[in-house]
Amino acid sequence: MDAQVLDRILDKYAYRHSDIIEIMQDVQRIENYLPMESLSYISERLELNLARIYDIATFYKAFSLKPRGKHVIKVCCGTACHLSGASQSLDQITRQLGIEEGETTEDRMFSLETVNCLGACALAPVVVIGAEYHDSADANKIDKLLSGYKVNGESTD
């Protein structure tokens, strides 16, 4: 990530140490993950121990230190979604894409993740792909759902 972009983010938060989580969130929003070089740069500019930044990056589940795919699939595993068959949906995605939770497909098209609750529990089970929410996404619907992205997302194998 560009030093210029990083400086702009740091400026926005006036180099405050207490806003380090926000700073990292802004970086991840742009890059989809936290590149190690960016973290080192932030550590230097803020004069904040890299160990503390790394601690935060690994403590909070929203952060990823690995690059993620073009489409990040988030399967909600909150209580309402779990009871409505979220784990079967997750299994079906795993079978379809050949990756486990936390992994990215070789062509870098899809990453598969789980989240705890998206606050759309009345529509359970919920699967989010990119920024798009899909309701009632039980195992039944997964194939159709994914094929939409494979065709639109130029990744046909």
Q: Does 48 bind ligand FES (CB under 6 A)?
A: no
Q: Does 120 bind other proteins (CB under 8 A)?
A: yes
Count other Cβ atoms within 10 Å, centred on residue 126. 27
> Can you say whether residue 33 is alpha, beta or left, with left for phi > 0 and alpha for psi between -120 and 50 degrees?
beta
State how far the Cα of 83 lies from the Cα of 77, in Å rounded to an integer: 9
- Beta carbon of residue 71, minimum distance to other proteins (angstroms, whole number): 16
Nearer to other proteins, 2 or 116 (CB): 116
Judged by DSSP in three states, 81 sits in helix
Nearer to other proteins, 8 or 17 (CB): 17
Beta bridge partners of residue 71, listed in sequence order: 110
Selected range binding other proteins among 37-45, 79-87, 103-111, 147-155, rule: CB under 8 A? 79-87
- Beta carbon of residue 104, minimum distance to other proteins (angstroms, whole number): 18
The answer to whether the CB of 71 falls within 8 A of the CB of 110 is yes
> Can you say whether residue 47 is alpha, beta or left, with left for phi > 0 and alpha for psi between -120 and 50 degrees?
left
Q: Of residues 12, 37, 40, 61, which one binds other proteins by CB under 8 A?
A: 61
Dihedral pair phi/psi, residue 114, rounded to 5°: -115, 150
- Beta carbon of residue 133, minimum distance to ligand FES (angstroms, whole number): 9
Residue numbers at the binding site for ligand FES (CB under 6 A) = 76, 78-81, 117-121, 124, 126
Residue numbers at the binding site for other proteins (CB under 8 A) = 16-22, 24-25, 52, 55-56, 59-63, 77-85, 88, 91-92, 95, 115-124, 126, 132-135, 138-140
